[in-house]
Chains A and B, each alone.
Chain A
Amino acid sequence: MSYRLVEVELTRAPEPIALGPEDHGLGLIARWKDRLVGFEMLKLDPGAVLDAEAVTELAERKFGARVVAAEIEAELAEARPAFAASPPSLTVAVCTKDRPERLERLLRSLEPVVRDGGGFAAVEVLVVDNAPSDERTREAVERLGWPRYRREPKPGLDFARNAALNGATGDLLAFLDDDVVVDRGWLSGLHGAWAAWPEAGGWTGLVLPYELRTEAQVMFELRGGFGRGFERIVHGVEKRDNRLYPVGAGIFGAGCNMAFDRRLLLELGGFDEALDTGAPLPGGGDLDIFYRVVRSGRPLVYEPRYAVYHQHRETLEQLRRQYWTWGLGFMAFLVKQMRHDPSLRPRQLGMLRWWFASMIEAVLWGTKRRLFTEVGFSLAELWGGVVGLVGEYDRSRARVRRIREVA
Chain B
Amino acid sequence: MSRWTVRHLDLAERPQALERPAGGGSVYAVFWWRDLPLGMRAFDPGELPLDRRGLEQVTVEFGAKIAAARLAELGGPAPAGYDGRPQVAPALSALAGLTRPLQRLDALAALADRPAVDLSVIVCTRDRPEDLARCLAALAAQRSPPKEVIVVDNAPADGRTRAVVERFPGVRHLPEPRPGLSVARNAGVRAANGALIAFTDDDVKVSPSWTSELVRAFERSDAYCVTGLVLPAELDTAPQATFQVEMGGFGDNCIPTLFDRRFVETNLWEGVQVWRIGAGANMAFRREVFERVGLFDEGLGAGASGCSEDSELWRRVLAAGGTCLYEPRAFVFHTHRRDWAALKGQMRAYMKGHVAALMAQRDRVGEPGAVRRVVVQLPKFFLRSAFGVLKNGATDKDRLLASQVAGWFSGLRYLWTGRRRPVPTLAGDAA
Contact = CB atoms under 8 A, between A and B. Distances in A.
Contacts of A32: 95
Given A61-B87, A61-B89, A238-B46, A68 B67 contact: yes
B92 A60 contact: yes
A315 interface: no
Contacts of B103: 75
Given A64-B95, A72-B63, A350-B392, 4 more contacts: A68-B74, A69-B64, A353-B393, A357-B387
B99 A64 contact: no
A135 interface: no
Contact of A66 (B64, B98, B390, B393): B64
29 contacts: A57-B89, A60-B91, A64-B89, A64-B90, A64-B91, A65-B65, A65-B68, A65-B90, A67-B90, A68-B68, A68-B101, A71-B98, A71-B99, A72-B60, A72-B67, A75-B100, A75-B101, A76-B59, A232-B57, A234-B53, A238-B45, A238-B46, A240-B42, A240-B43, A240-B47, A243-B393, A353-B392, A354-B391, A361-B391
A333 B392 CA distance: 20
B90 A68 contact: yes
B96 interface: yes
B387 A361 contact: yes
B88 interface: yes
List the 9 closest pairs (A to B, CB-CB), nearest first: A238-B46, A69-B64, A357-B391, A64-B90, A68-B64, A60-B89, A240-B44, A61-B89, A68-B68
Given A60-B91, A353-B393, A69 B60 contact: yes
Interface of B: 14, 26, 42-47, 53-54, 56-57, 59-61, 63-65, 67-68, 74, 87-92, 95-96, 98-103, 387, 390-393, 395
B345 to A, nearest CB: 28
B90 A196 contact: no
A236 B46 contact: yes
A64 B88 contact: yes
Contacts of B87: 61
Interface string A4-16: 0000001100100
B430 to A, nearest CB: 45
A231 interface: yes
Contact of B60 (A73, A236, A239): A73
Contact of B68 (A10, A64, A197): A64
A64 B101 contact: no
B200 to A, nearest CB: 31
A234 B55 CA distance: 12
A76 B95 contact: no
Size class of the A contact interface (CB-based, 8 Å): 35 or more
A238 B53 CA distance: 17
B47 A239 contact: yes
Residue with the highest number of chain B CB atoms closer than 10 Å, among A68, A76, A239 = A68
Interface in A376-401: none
A338 to B, nearest CB: 17
A71 B242 CA distance: 36
Nearest to A56: B92
Contact of B98 (A60, A68, A79, A353): A68
Contacts of A56: 92
Contact of A350 (B64, B67, B393): B393
A72 B59 contact: yes
Interface in A232-282: 232, 234, 236-240, 243
A75 B11 CA distance: 14
Interface in A1-50: 10-11, 14, 32
A10 B92 contact: yes
Contacts of A65: 64-65, 68, 88-90
A358 interface: yes
Nearest to A243: B392
A52 to B, nearest CB: 11
Contacts of A361: 387, 391
A59 interface: yes
A11 B90 contact: no
Interface string A72-97: 11011001000000000000000000
Contact of B92 (A64, A232, A350): A64
Interface string A218-242: 0000000000000110101111100
Nearest to A346: B393
A243 B393 CA distance: 10
A361 B386 CA distance: 13
Nearest to A10: B92
B47 A236 contact: yes
Contacts of A59: 92
Nearest to B14: A79
Nearest to A354: B391
Nearest to A12: B96
Contact of A11 (B14, B96, B102, B392): B96
A231 B61 contact: yes
